[in-house]
Amino acid sequence: MPSPRTTPEPRPGDDRSTDLIRWAAFSCFLVPVVLLWYGSSLAGTAGTALGLAAVTAVCRVLLRRSERCAARLLDEEPAPRAHPRGRHQRTGTGSHRGGRHSGGNSPAG
């Protein structure tokens, strides 16, 4: 009996970054077509296409690197600790204890 396939959980940024790269690749195709359509030279169009492809490739590499670094930082981040006293059971003195304060540096004081 074959074992069931387990698919890794998709990270939130994967879908957006994939869409971004797809749109960039589409524009690398579309821009030269439009330039040719409007009468630009073949050499200028080819240079534009190569430039767009290079920029898209570099952006893709940087985006993937950024995602890997962010995922690694999230994996290394320690879980938040629960406070032993709770939210409203603080100790000590200070101006955060509530109520009205008499005296001090207040203008009415």
Could you read off the pLDDT of 3-15 as tens digits, one per residue?
555 555 555 556 7
Q: Is the pLDDT of residue 52 over 70?
A: yes
Could you report the per-residue pLDDT of 59-97, keeping only the tens digit for each?
A: 999 999 999 998 888 888 776 666 665 565 656 555 555
> Average pLDDT of the chain?
77
Could you report the per-residue pLDDT of 17-31, keeping only the tens digit for each?
A: 888 888 988 998 999
Whether the Cβ atoms of residue 32 and residue 92 lie closer than 8 Å to each other: no
pTM above 0.75, yes or no: no
Q: What is the pLDDT of residue 81?
A: 67
Q: What is the pLDDT of residue 75?
A: 86
Q: Which residue reads 């998709």 in tokens?
A: 10
DSSP notation for 55-104: HHHHHHHHHHHHHHHHHHHHHHSPPPPPPSS-SS---S-SGGG-S---ST
Sign of the torsion formed by the C-alpha atoms of 80, 86, 89 and 91: negative
